[in-house]
Amino acid sequence: MLTDTQIAVLCDIGQSIAFSDDKRDELLRLIVDGYVQKDGDTYELIAKGEAAVVERGAGLNEA
């Protein structure tokens, strides 16, 4: 199960919001677990990441 911090990172990525270095470990875990992919210099949610945000009831305009 994803933590609140991981959901917040997913929301930040979904909104193209930069995040602080203290969330970098969470980001790497989300990539390894298949929620996020790196595309050049940016990160983007993949279907699993989008579903996790929706399932948790967090909107991408929240965060």
Please indicate, yes or no, if residue 43 is contained in any of the structural domains.
Answer: yes
Domain of 37: which CATH number?
A: 1.10.10.10
What residues make up the domain containing 18? 4-56
Distances (CA, A) of 39 to 3, 13, 25, 42: 24, 12, 18, 5
- Residue 29 in any domain: the answer is yes
Share of the chain residues as helix, strand and coil, in percent rounded to the nearest 5: 50, 15, 35
Residue 40 within a domain: yes
Model pLDDT for residues 4-57, shown as the tens digit of each residue: 999 999 998 988 888 788 888 999 999 999 999 998 888 999 999 999 998 887
Angle at the Cα of 8 (from 46 to 42), degrees rounded to 5?
Answer: 45
Q: Per the structure, how many domains does the chain have?
A: 1
Q: Is residue 27 part of a domain?
A: yes
Q: Has residue 62 been placed in a domain?
A: no
Would you say residue 45 lies in a domain? yes
